[in-house]
Chain A
Amino acid sequence: MSANRSIRVTAGILITIALVALVGPWISPHDYVTTNFDNPLAPPSLGDMHLFGTDDLGRDLFVRTMLGIRISLLVAIVASFVSLVIGVAYGAIAGFVGGRVDAAMMRFVDTLYALPFIFFVILLMVAFERNFLLIFVAIGAINWLDMARIVRGQTLSLREREFVEAARLTGVSTLRIVFRHIAPNLIGIVIVYVTLTIPQAILVESFLSYLGLGVQEPQTSLGALVEAGVTLMERASWSLLIPATLLALILMCFNFLGDGLRDQFDARNLS
């Protein structure tokens, strides 16, 4: 598949999923909290509008899954934004200032790379009770390292490029150099890496939810739904397979999208 087509297809799927997740619960006659002990573990059917069946408490799984997608996407996007802000600022400062400051800042990043982060996050989640805000911060804090490295490398090489020197020489201000000469050349690669950070963030969030450390009942996320599905899988395989498939599909689309964007970005830079 050409880079361009894979971008369009995956972006199309993601937008569709997001739209259905937004609108679906609103159209459905069910909500995500109401239990119905007369109808637990109903298989998917069109008749009573339990499109994805019901869980062991008789709650509608379609609405719950859509809610899970919303939350997973929300957490991932906000967390990616956190990592974007930290990573770009950190990387750009290190790369632009250079010299000893850069060496020290990157040494720190190298050190953080060696940490078993996820265990710290688990520790954090246990110690400070499950706090929704903390999830964002924790995931963002894990993912900014890659972004910082990439932005720093790019900034460093841009700073040395001759067009920046030419600008310095004519008297272009530092501010204008940063915004006119460096930033526009960073945007492409930053977009690519944000796209690749989102699935990582989804993964961490669902991992935490799976361990029961993420969002709290009756709220839910894809990871939490998979976890619930696992306990029910022998009696109601759909309760595992549907959220698991959607989670994998979303992750795959983001990965393909990021790859496609990167290919296109590389191609443009080579020409």
Chain B
Amino acid sequence: MLRYTLLRILGAIPTLLLVIALAFLMVHAAPGGPFSSERVLPEHVEKEIERRYHLDEPLPKQFLRYVSGLLQGDLGPSYSYRDYDVDELIADTFPVSLKLGALAMALALLLGVSAGTVAALRQGAWLDKFVMGFSMTGISIPVFVVAPVLVLFLAVKLQWLPAGWTSEVGLKRLFLPVVTLALPQIAYIARLTRASMIDVLNRDFIRTARAQGLGTATVVRVHALKPAMLPVLSYMGPAIAAVLTGSVVVEEVFGIPGLGQQFVRGASNRDYTLVLGIVVSYATLIISLNLIVDILYGVIDPRVRYR
């Protein structure tokens, strides 16, 4: 198990480097530098700026400089917010997004897995049909449709909840954004859990467990739950990416000062260092979470450890 874990960790490093390199290249290949769209600058000023941002160095050297900065937590200065460093901007906005995302994922796992399991155990009954109908709808309606529709009805028409990000801290302002973000994931996880639970319940070893007279609850808890969770676990990587994507929309709609909003702003301001910094942070987050998922997979399925 230790070997497996170490191998996984080692395997994640090149992936991360590749992602950073790709993002870095893409930013540098973009036509029109960060300042070109504004006004034509005198040549010496442009030179000065280039030197300040080390744009005059060869690309590999710039890349190395960037990576070594990264290792010290330095993501460079922002192009558009002249007095800020990128790490400060990220540090300011990241906690809100993290809270939102983590709450949404927790909600999605809790509701999705329970709904899926119940549906699998009641296969064909009305409860199953209801869960499946709900989740097909949930999967098919994009976050950017759900968000405004919920705001329109619950906030604007019924006035039950605030439409935006009020200054009042607490559950009330978190409720709509978290639910919006979680809905499609609840739906997807419910479907996934149901399908894999049905699959597991049809396996021979479940019949053995039933023949041993363990009772349905024990059969599900002791024998079925772990293997049925494997596909859900594999989905965690894509789910995290989807929640991050969704957070861009949700933060826009609800006016939440998070990383997603920062990213969209940065992108439209062509603030390349900021955008690069955010992409790198997202990638690091996704890759580390994927790593954890991989290791958990090894914990649950003893057979993969030896591969």
Contact between chain A and chain B defined by CB under 8 Å: yes
* CB pair B144 A210 closer than 8 Å: yes
Chain A's closest residue to B269 (CB) is A126
Among B14-22, B89-97, B212-220, the stretch that binds chain A is B14-22
Q: Which positions 115-129 of chain A face chain B at CB distance < 8 Å?
A: 115-120, 122-124, 126-128
* CB pair B144 A226 closer than 8 Å: yes
How far, in whole Å, are A125 and B167 apart by their CA atoms in the complex?
Answer: 34
Q: Of B148, B241, B249, B267, which is within 8 A of A240 by CB? A: B148
A-B contact count (CB 8 A): 115
In the assembled complex, A234 has its CB within 8 A of some CB on chain B: yes
* CB pair A127 B30 closer than 8 Å: yes
B contacts with A, residue count (CB < 8 A): 46
* CB pair A128 B156 closer than 8 Å: no
- For A190-214 the 0/1 string (1 means CB < 8 A from B) is 0000000001000100110011000
Q: Of A115, A126, A206, which is within 8 A of B283 by CB? A: A115
How far, in whole Å, are A224 and B239 apart by their CA atoms in the complex?
Answer: 25
Known: A114-B19, A248-B140. A119 touches B156 (CB 8 A): no
* CB pair B279 A120 closer than 8 Å: yes
| Residues of chain B within 8 A of A248, CB atoms compared | 137, 140-142, 145
In the assembled complex, A227 has its CB within 8 A of some CB on chain B: yes
In the assembled complex, A244 has its CB within 8 A of some CB on chain B: yes
How far, in whole Å, are A115 and B285 apart by their CA atoms in the complex?
Answer: 10
* CB pair A203 B142 closer than 8 Å: yes
| Residues of chain B within 8 A of A233, CB atoms compared | 148, 151-152, 156
- For B226-262 the 0/1 string (1 means CB < 8 A from A) is 0000000000011001001100110011000000000
* CB pair B31 A116 closer than 8 Å: no
* CB pair B23 A123 closer than 8 Å: yes
Q: Which applies to chain A's interface (DSSP): helix, strand, loop or mixed? A: helix
Among A24-32, A79-87, A157-165, A251-259, the stretch that binds chain B is A251-259
In the assembled complex, A148 has its CB within 8 A of some CB on chain B: no
Q: Which positions 23-53 of chain B face chain A at CB distance < 8 Å?
A: 23, 26-27, 29-31
How far, in whole Å, are A79 and B27 apart by their CA atoms in the complex?
Answer: 24
| Residues of chain B within 8 A of A123, CB atoms compared | 23, 26-27, 30, 267, 275, 279
- Chain A contact-residue range equals 35 or more
* CB pair A118 B241 closer than 8 Å: yes
How far, in whole Å, are A240 and B141 apart by their CA atoms in the complex?
Answer: 13
| Residues of chain A within 8 A of B27, CB atoms compared | 123, 127
B6 shortest CB reach to chain A, Å: 18
Q: Of A126, A227, A241, which is within 8 A of B144 by CB? A: A227
| Residues of chain A within 8 A of B18, CB atoms compared | 111
A187 shortest CB reach to chain B, Å: 23
* CB pair A119 B290 closer than 8 Å: no
* CB pair A128 B30 closer than 8 Å: yes
* CB pair A119 B148 closer than 8 Å: no
- For A209-230 the 0/1 string (1 means CB < 8 A from B) is 0110000000000010011011
B149 shortest CB reach to chain A, Å: 6
Chain B's closest residue to A108 (CB) is B18
In the assembled complex, A237 has its CB within 8 A of some CB on chain B: yes
How far, in whole Å, are A255 and B278 apart by their CA atoms in the complex?
Answer: 32
| Residues of chain A within 8 A of B237, CB atoms compared | 113-114
Q: Of B29, B140, B248, which is within 8 A of A255 by CB? A: B140
Q: Which positions 260-274 of chain B face chain A at CB distance < 8 Å?
A: 263-264, 267-268, 270
Q: Of B141, B156, B290, which is within 8 A of A234 by CB? A: B156
Known: A114-B237, A120-B23. A237 touches B142 (CB 8 A): no
| Residues of chain A within 8 A of B15, CB atoms compared | 111, 114
How far, in whole Å, are A62 and B282 apart by their CA atoms in the complex?
Answer: 39
* CB pair A116 B141 closer than 8 Å: no
How far, in whole Å, are A25 and B23 apart by their CA atoms in the complex?
Answer: 42
Q: Of A117, A203, A237, which is within 8 A of B152 by CB? A: A237
In the assembled complex, A247 has its CB within 8 A of some CB on chain B: yes
Contacts from B to A (Cβ < 8 Å)? 14-15, 18-19, 22-23, 26-27, 29-31, 136-137, 139-142, 144-145, 148-149, 151-152, 156, 237-238, 241, 244-245, 248-249, 252-253, 263-264, 267-268, 270, 275, 278-279, 282-283, 286-287, 290
14 A/B residue pairs, CB under 8 Å, sorted by A: A114-B290, A116-B244, A116-B282, A122-B263, A122-B264, A123-B30, A127-B29, A127-B30, A210-B249, A230-B144, A233-B156, A237-B152, A247-B142, A248-B145
**A240-B148, A248-B141 known, 17 other contacts, Cβ within 8 Å:** A114-B286, A115-B22, A115-B283, A115-B286, A116-B283, A119-B244, A123-B23, A123-B27, A207-B142, A207-B144, A211-B252, A226-B148, A230-B253, A233-B152, A247-B141, A247-B145, A252-B136
Going nearest first, the 6 A-B pairs with the smallest beta carbon separation are A127-B30, A252-B140, A251-B140, A230-B148, A244-B145, A116-B282
